[in-house]
Structures are given as structure tokens and as C-alpha cells.
Structure 1
Amino acid sequence: MIEDIAALCGTRLGPGTLYGAIARLEKQGWIEPLAQEERRQPYRITAHGVRVLRARLDTLARFTKAGLERLDEI
């Protein structure tokens, strides 16, 4: 996950940051653990997590659109 996040965002998270985020997501019921694979613990997004993520991405899309429109006015 750390490598995927770094490639996608250009930001490298430390293990403490990542594991803290995973714990919060799991506690909120947005992700759930799958069967462990050797040393790796895979997770999947829950139906509730999909709804929350979709709502947040929709909000970000509206925010981004408004910001880009305002930049075009400059």
C-alpha cells in the first residue's frame, strides 16, 4: 500500500500513518480484513465504505470544478 500511495500521490506515508488510517477505516466499518496472505493483511472496502467514498469523491469533484471555474475567471 505504501508503494501504491507513493506512486499515485507522490507522497510516502510512514507505517505508523498507514496503519493508523487502516485502523480508523476498519473501526468505522469502511473496510474489512480478508484472510491473511503470508505476512500481508489484505483488506476490502465494504458496501458502507463504497457509499461514503462515493459521497466524498462527489464532493471533491464539485469542489474541483468550482475551483477550476474560478481560476478560468482570473
Structure 2
Amino acid sequence: MTETAFYILLSLVAPQHGYAIIENVSKMTKKRIVLGPGTIYGSLSKMKKDGLIEPVKEENNRKIYQITELGLLILKMEKDRIKELYKNSKEVL
């Protein structure tokens, strides 16, 4: 999973629309990752197709998405993988 995908999924633990996700990812990464509209909406489309997120409602012409149970499982697996990477690198470096 890409870092961008990880942060998008993490943002969708609470329902949000695309622009709110962009803002949330920027805030979480201290502006290290700044998503553009093409990136966010392409990612949301793929994640929806893969069953990782689902639209929950629409407000002011904005679709609001939330992570699915499958998406949450994948997010937790990725978190465990990152923990393992960190642990193993810490032992070597």
C-alpha cells in the first residue's frame, strides 16, 4: 500500500468528503504530503471499486465516504507491516 493510500484510509475512519481528506492528510503529515484533486478522486474511485470505502451520504454536492470493514482490516494489516519494518530496522541500524 502506498503512503498516500494509507493516509486516505486512515482519514476515512470518520466519514469525510474529498476536500476534508486533503486537509486531514496535509495536517497529519505536517504538509509533507499535499494531495491534489486528481490524486484524491482517483484514489477514492479505486478504493471504492476495491471495497475499501463506501459513500455514506452526499452534502452540498460532495460525496462523503467512510472506510468499510474490509478497509479497516487492510489498514490494520498495513499498520502491523509498518511496525514490523520499524522493529527490524531498529535492530539493524
Query: Which of the five TM-score ranges fits, normalised by the shorter chain?
Result: 0.7 to 0.9
> What SS is found at the alignment partner of 1:29?
coil
| 2:70 is aligned with 1:45 | no
Pairs aligned (count): 71
> What SS is found at the alignment partner of 1:11?
coil
Identity percentage of aligned residues? 35
Q: Which runs of 5+ in 2 are unaligned?
A: 1-20
More strand per residue: 2
TM normalised by structure 1 equals 0.86
> What SS is found at the alignment partner of 1:4?
helix
Name the structure 1 match of 2:28: 8
TM normalised by structure 2 equals 0.70
Structure 1 residue ranges, 4+ long, deviating more than 2 angstroms after superposition: none
| Structure-1 separation of matches of 2:37 and 2:22 | 8
- Deviation string for 1:9-28 (max 9, x for gaps)? 22111110111111111000
Q: Which has the higher contact order (CA 8 A, sep 6+)?
A: 2
| 2:82 is aligned with 1:60 | yes
Of 21, 28, 47, which residue of structure 2 is paired with 1:25?
47
C-alpha RMSD of the superposition: 1.1
> What SS is found at the alignment partner of 2:59?
coil
